[in-house]
Amino acid sequence: MSFSFHPEAEDELDDAIDYYEGIEPGLGYDFALEVHSTIKRTVEFPKARVLVEGEIRRSLVKRFPYGILYSEERNRDIHRRSYESSSRAELLGA
């Protein structure tokens, strides 16, 4: 199984990496590693994550207040739609 990024989601990831790197050198790198680890777990067990709306699921990133929103496509690929901070999720009622 593979995954792909929505173009806006890739921009969101880059922004979040820059944000954490601005807080402390190396923290952006740590964030990127955690996101990669979360994607790897999601690809291995795509149905193990919670449904948040329709076919959209959310997989939480360890150590950081972010979740990855994704859907499993018919060809069994994971399409990563968005990153969301937990504060944004709370505002959306997720």
- Average pLDDT value for residue range 18-40: 95
pTM summary value: 0.76
Residues in the chain: 94
| pLDDT over 60 (residue 71) | yes
Question: So what CATH class is 3-92?
Answer: alpha beta
Q: What is the pLDDT of residue 73?
A: 72
Are the beta carbons of 71 and 53 closer than 8 angstroms?
A: no
Sequence-distant (6+) residues with CB within 8 A of 2 are: 43, 77, 78
Are 81 and 53 spatial neighbours (Cβ–Cβ below 8 Å)?
no
Distance, in Å, from the CA atom of 80 to the CA atom of 94, rounded to the nearest integer, reads: 17
25-35 average pLDDT score: 96
